[in-house]
Amino acid sequence: MTLALGATTQDSYAAALALLQDRPLVVLTGAGVSTDSGIPDYRSPGSPARQPMTYQQFISGPQERQRYWARSHLGWRRMGSAVPNAGHRVLTRIDPELLITQNVDGLHEQASPELAGSGRLVTLHGRVADVICLSCRTVSPRRDLQERMEAFNAGWAEAHADVESRPDGDVALEETQDFVVPDCEICGGILKPDVVFFGENVPKDRVARCMEAVDALAGEGVLLVAGSSLAVMSGYRFVRRAAKAGIPVVIVNRGATRGDGEAAYKLEVGTSEFLTTLAQRRASGSGRA
Ligand SMILES: [Zn+2]
């Protein structure tokens, strides 16, 4: 990094903190906040390109679902061992009006049960911890399905222990035709992770809740985006909504984002470090008790 850029970043950093320290906030987080928990961010600079399975592929036939669940079966074992990092842990102290996450890893919920319990956490794309039946719509815990997959595919995970991890609980695995996929125990229907796939829409009530919180920032609030490149419209639309209403947007992300042009401040720093500093500032800020 050049000295000139370093100086600019220092100024922006201080100004962004000053803006954020005692105003109502809506915080939108993405994969970048979970990288410090060991969950890789496939959109960050230098990451290999990747094509996640679309909803249309998932429902297109049994081979695609076999491919999905075999990979997910391995990925789950790794994601299951991830724990919240400092960035997740300080969110309760930052005390946003609403925390919106694009992440499906459940780490915000683990770190901030207070926010989740008071309805101030929206998992925009769902959670990999839940499974839904596409026929009877019953939602069940993923860990139960994991046990059934272990039972149906004894020794399978051990035989594929050295494949590469991917951010949403997926792995770089190609040979999946011998994997046995369990069906819904109630109706025999197709089981799908209760997460929003590419090609699928975020449930309307979830979007409405987020839009309402962004709109309520008008006048004094700020939208803070942490660790997202805003590549998908499901998150970017909140930035557009805020910018149109004259609500300042601060983006903290390593690498370019789709919202850079709409941001009052764009900081290329680590999210854990920034959120920790912000939490300290808000705890000692003049405007807050
Ligand atoms: Zn069912």
β-bridge partners, 140: 131
pLDDT at residue 78, as a whole number: 65
For residue 230, is it within any domain? yes
* Domains of the chain: total: 1
pLDDT at residue 252, as a whole number: 97
pLDDT at residue 82, as a whole number: 83
82 Cα to the center of ligand 1, angstroms = 29
106 Cα to the center of ligand 1, angstroms = 24
For residue 134, is it within any domain? yes
pLDDT at residue 170, as a whole number: 58
For residue 148, is it within any domain? yes
Contact 8, 2 (CB under 8 A): no
Report pTM: 0.85
Which CATH number do you get for residue 214?
Answer: 3.40.50.1220
pLDDT of 152-171, one tens digit each?
A: 999 888 888 777 665 555 55
Separation of CA 18 from chain center: 26
Q: What is the DSSP annotation of 26-57?
A: EEEE-GGGTGGGT---TTSTTPPP--PPBHHH
For residue 289, is it within any domain? no
182 Cα to the center of ligand 1, angstroms = 11
* pLDDT-flagged residues of the chain (< 70): 1-8, 41-51, 77-80, 164-174, 285-289
Nearest-angstrom CA–CA distance, 197 and 248 = 30
193 Cα to the center of ligand 1, angstroms = 13
For residue 153, is it within any domain? yes
Q: Taking the CB of residue 165, how many other CB atoms lie within 10 A of it?
A: 17
Q: What is the CA radius of gyration of the chain?
A: 20
For residue 177, is it within any domain? yes
pLDDT at residue 1, as a whole number: 38
pLDDT at residue 27, as a whole number: 98
**Residues identified as active-site:** 125
pLDDT at residue 174, as a whole number: 66
Nearest-angstrom CA–CA distance, 139 and 133 = 7
Nearest-angstrom CA–CA distance, 63 and 81 = 28
Give the per-residue SS3 of 58-97.
Answer: HCCCHHHHHHHHHHHHHHHHHHCCCCCCHHHHCHHHHCCC
135 Cα to the center of ligand 1, angstroms = 5
Q: For ligand 1, a single-atom ion, which residues have Cβ within 5 Å?
A: 133, 135-136, 184, 186-187, 189
- Please give the residue range of the domain that contains residue 25: 3-284
The H or E element spanning position 229 is none
For residue 88, is it within any domain? yes
Nearest-angstrom CA–CA distance, 112 and 124 = 16
pLDDT at residue 3, as a whole number: 41
For residue 34, is it within any domain? yes
